[in-house]
Amino acid sequence: MTAIIVAFLVIVIVEGFLWRLFRWRTKDVISWEEGDTPLSRFIRVGRIDIFAIIHTLILLIIIESFLFFTW
Amino acid sequence: MVKDAVPAGEASFQGKYKEEEFQFCFHQHWLRLVSPIARMAFFSLLLITGGFVMLQGTSSVDPGTRHVVLISMLVFFLFFQLDFLERLYNYFLYIIIVTDRRVHRIKKTLFVTNDQQSIDLWVIQDINKAQHGLIQVALGFGTLMLESQETMLRIHFVPGISKKYEKLVHLREQARRKWPKLPE
């Protein structure tokens, strides 16, 4: 159980840090370019943000289920 | 998150003058991502497969050793995934922006690089495009070379290079007609 929680926190923190760093590095350059997705009318999310969320979720699913069945 | 869906013509970016009008922008061709994706997929599959094989063999080993093996595998798996993510972000941080006055090449990485090179359209003497090899011709990408008297700007992996080339030539002629003398 501890391993699963630690893995969850590590993944979320590291992926979140990289995503925030990316957003900070782009500042105004990318944000307007990525604003025109169908979702962006509702929740102001660009394509890269969606990819970062999906990547994090997939990693969490793979690693957490791997730990759950093998630890 | 995206703060505002700003119309592209009003968008600002580093190094932009007030009077500059945005025309278009692009990243490098998607082929640049194939290698990082393939590398990530290969090592991830290798680790997952190797992990299952190793764990089958260590089922009778003490829990401590088993945990060490699991943690090592997960660390390497996470490393390759985050490495891919960093390369993906670096791909999106490399952007070429063309305005009515200049061509800006902004090249950043997540951690260590922050380059910007700009060249005035007005001073460009030669605009050349190069496509070598079956893959470049088939996928329609190549290298654009913008030469002025004092400098040259090379842009590799330009997608849709023929259209970009035509647009740049058109913009250069437009800039020269609009500003007979070099704009300040």
Closest among A42, A56, A32, A29 to B2, alpha carbons compared = A32
Contact B13, A28 (CB under 8 A): yes
Which residue intervals of chain B are DSSP H helices?
34-57, 63-92, 134-139, 161-178
- A33 inside 8 A of chain B by CB: yes
Domain assignment of residue A7, given as a range: 2-70
pLDDT in tens, chain B (184 residues): 444 444 445 556 766 777 788 888 888 999 999 999 999 999 999 988 887 777 776 566 677 888 888 888 889 999 999 999 999 999 988 989 899 889 999 888 888 888 889 999 988 999 999 999 999 999 999 999 999 888 899 999 999 999 999 999 999 998 888 876 655 5
What A57-60 contacts at long range (C-beta under 8 Å, 24+ apart), as own/partner pairs, is A59/A11, A59/A15, A59/B78, A59/B81, A60/A8, A60/A11, A60/A12
CA distance A25 to B106: 11
Total domains in chain A come to: 1
Comparing CB atoms, the residue among A3, A18, A25 nearest residue B93 is A25
Inter-chain touch A25–B82, beta carbons under 8 Å:
no
Q: How far is B153 from chain A (nearest CA, A)?
A: 20
